[in-house]
Homo-oligomer: A and B are copies of this chain.
Amino acid sequence: MSTEARTIEVKPDSFSYFFSPYREPTAKVKPGDRVVVHTEDAFESRIQNKDDLPSKSLATAKFLNPQTGPIFVEGAEPGDTLAVKIESIEPTRDFAVSALVPFFGGLTSTVATRTLQEPLPEKVWIWKLSDDGKTLYNEDVGVEVEWEPFTGTLAVAPDLEAISALAPGPFGGNMDVPDVRPGNTVYLPVWNEGALVYTGDCHARQGQGEACGVALEITAKVTFVFDVIKNKQIEWPRIESDERIMVVGSAKPMEDAARIANVELILWLEEEYGFDRLDAYQLVTQAGGLYVGNMVDTTYSLVASMGKKYLRR
């Protein structure tokens, strides 16, 4: 960690729609800095009320999921691992939006799973944040849900590729995994000088799978603290909470995402916790977690995990 703890605010002038090594850094920060990042919502605030149907409100949007960044983290070099501690997420407006977007989501045909059918009807849901900020309510659904925010998108720039901000991958990206939340630390591989961090797409909350493809989208202020772990290479994003260690695998079909996440978890148990590989496979079989983060993005993200209580031996 850096010895000087500064607070740096990152308010972007423009957004990136790609995780790209080709874009100039928006900010330079040091490990240990408290970095407060302002983020747009996935629709760039084009949807504000029930009448802003996607076919109308998004018609002029060439790209979606605007990202703040890249943020250059000093000292991060190819071959390192970036540790991203999420300290807090604060909403910067008093409502969240969700919507049914034509041919987008988990329970409709899509541009990838093409059929000849008509799309589902469009609909917009506005969820009002309560005065105490602890719950959200939508009158059509008629249910109150808890404020449990997380960052839908958190990425480093890939190695020479520039990839759509709608994609999850080894670089993190649009994972839509609820465990990318305040209190947890996300580990990402570093391929570029400065790591080049992108983030956005904050969610007031989301169920596992993000069924319709659009969580409770908010504009937000996210506070990160970065750390650089030198000369340590990981293959896929890792997450650590107080209770669990986790790996996010993203692929299609979904079983490939599950395989990636579980294999990487087993290798982690082998390398850092002293398990024989096959015994780690056995432990994951009997005690591992495996949930669906998203079943809607360009690839699906699954989270394999192990309780830390099983790692003390």
- Which of A3-11, A84-92, A161-169, A222-230 touches B? A161-169
**Does the CB pair A161–B160 fall under 8 Å?**
no
Smallest CB gap from A279: residue in B: B141
A113 at the interface (CB under 8 A from B): yes
A260 at the interface (CB under 8 A from B): yes
- Which of A26-34, A39-47, A104-112 touches B? A104-112
Least CB distance from A169 to B in Å reads 11
A1 at the interface (CB under 8 A from B): no
Q: Which residues of B contact A183 (CB under 8 A)?
A: none
A64 at the interface (CB under 8 A from B): no
What is the 8 Å Cβ interface bit string for chain A, positions 277-305, against chain B (1 contact, 0 not)? 11101111111111110010000101010
> In whole angstroms, what is the CA distance A206 to B94 when docked?
42
**Does the CB pair A284–B20 fall under 8 Å?**
no
A115 at the interface (CB under 8 A from B): yes
> In whole angstroms, what is the CA distance A115 to B116 when docked?
13
Q: Which of B138, B286, B290, B295 contacts A215 (CB 8 A)?
A: B286
Q: Which of B112, B116, B215 contacts A120 (CB 8 A)?
A: B116
**Does the CB pair B145–A276 fall under 8 Å?**
no
Q: Which of B17, B140, B162, B255 contacts A295 (CB 8 A)?
A: B255
Q: Which of B100, B116, B252 contacts A266 (CB 8 A)?
A: B116
**Does the CB pair A253–B251 fall under 8 Å?**
no
**Does the CB pair A115–B109 fall under 8 Å?**
yes
> In whole angstroms, what is the CA distance A214 to B100 when docked?
32
**Does the CB pair A281–B162 fall under 8 Å?**
no
Q: Which residues of B contact A107 (CB under 8 A)?
A: 114-116, 259, 262-263, 266, 281
Question: 11 pairs across A/B with beta carbons < 8 Å?
Answer: A107-B116, A107-B281, A108-B116, A109-B117, A118-B118, A140-B279, A143-B283, A208-B289, A209-B262, A212-B281, A255-B295
Known interface pairs A106-B262, A120-B278, A252-B256; 17 further A-B residue pairs with C-beta atoms within 8 A, sorted by A's residue number = A98-B286, A100-B278, A106-B258, A109-B115, A112-B256, A113-B259, A115-B263, A117-B120, A138-B282, A141-B279, A161-B161, A206-B286, A209-B290, A210-B285, A252-B252, A252-B253, A290-B291
